A = this chain, B = another copy of it.
Amino acid sequence: VGTPPSQTSSEAVDAILATLRANGGRATTARRQLLQALFDSGGHRTAEDLATEVQASSPDIHISTVYRNLDEFERLGIVFHTHLGHGPAIYHLSSAPHGHLVCANCGTAIEAAQELFSELSENAERRFGFLIDPRHFAMLGCCHSCAG
């Protein structure tokens, strides 16, 4: 489910909906709006954030529909969810894979490209035969300004 940079977000939404149809799914208003919200807000949004956003234009779209669609999109590899700490999961498009560094003190989240984790991945594979996926977790710690 690639998203060539030349596409507008609405073209990208249409492309995803076409993929959905091809998989026996249906292109509904809720899905179109949710995808548009994901493209528009490009970042760390909770299911509730996204629900609020789509409800601005379609007030009847229920949060359970948002959850169901986010799950479905995730199953298809279109979105990803991460836990930045306690509290709600955050969702984003999976087009730009990255990990997160979250300050335990102030909550600031830094996006970190996968290659930051490459040595760790090599270590884990060599020692344990374990293949790390740095996208799923947030890494806690202390950010520059909180460390003072």
Contacts and interface: CB of A to CB of B under 8 A. Distances in A.
B142 A140 contact: no
A112 B133 contact: no
A107 to B, nearest CB: 13
Please give the count of copies of this chain that the complex contains.
Answer: 2
B147 A141 contact: no
Contacts of A127: 112, 116
Interface in A43-93: 83
A136 B101 contact: no
A139 interface: yes
B124 A116 contact: yes
Interface string A125-148: 001111111101111111110010
Contacts of A117: 120
Contact of A139 (B132, B142, B143): B132
B101 A132 contact: yes
Interface of A: 83, 101, 103-104, 110, 112, 116-117, 119-120, 123-124, 127-134, 136-144, 147
Given A112-B124, A128-B144, A136-B141, 19 more contacts: A101-B124, A104-B133, A110-B130, A116-B124, A119-B123, A120-B120, A120-B139, A124-B139, A129-B143, A129-B144, A129-B147, A130-B144, A131-B147, A133-B140, A136-B140, A137-B137, A137-B138, A137-B139, A137-B140
